Amino acid sequence: MKQIPMIEKYMTPMPHTVGPGISLKTAIQMMRDHHIRHLPVLNAGKLIGVITDRDIKLASAFQVNEDVLVDDVMTPEPYSTAPQTPIDQVVFEMAEHKYGCAVIQQENGKVVGIFTANDGLRVLGEILHTRYKAAQH
């Protein structure tokens, strides 16, 4: 039986990040420019939150002006895990709590990657393709 791979195999390494004092408008533009839906929020290199497209949509329901900062709308204390965590643990945790992403951190707290629900779907597709293609031959 094969060993379950670690999350580091499937995470997006070196994700784009923002600081809490960045304007929401800047964060939105950054997400558009890079075609991403999740941005870890770091303060002095420490993970303090994540801003998602869902946070932005919720904030947009109110009158958002130029003074709104990432800190005002981010989700504090996002789900994070170590690069050596087995992928099944990560996806079960994400599904159980309806997290859109997992921020991957080393023991020292450095953010080294991000794993999103879309990444999970890609992994599922690869597994199904490999398993059922092999079974057809």
- Six token digits for residue 117: 């629900």
Question: Does residue 1 lie in a domain region?
Answer: no
Our count of domains for the chain comes to 1
C-beta of residue 78 within 8 angstroms of C-beta of residue 49 = yes
Residue 86, domain extent: 7-136
Domain-embedded: residue 81: yes
**Closest to 118 measured CA to CA, from 101, 93, 103:** 101
- Residues in the chain predicted with pLDDT less than 70, given as ranges, are 63-66, 134-137
Q: Is residue 118 part of a domain?
A: yes
pTM for the whole structure: 0.89
Q: Is residue 117 part of a domain?
A: yes
Please report whether residue 2 resides in a domain: no
Is 66 part of a structural domain of the chain?
A: yes
The whole-number pLDDT of residue 113 equals: 97
Determine the residue type at 54: R
The pLDDT of residue 61 is 75
| Domain at 63, CATH number | 3.10.580.10
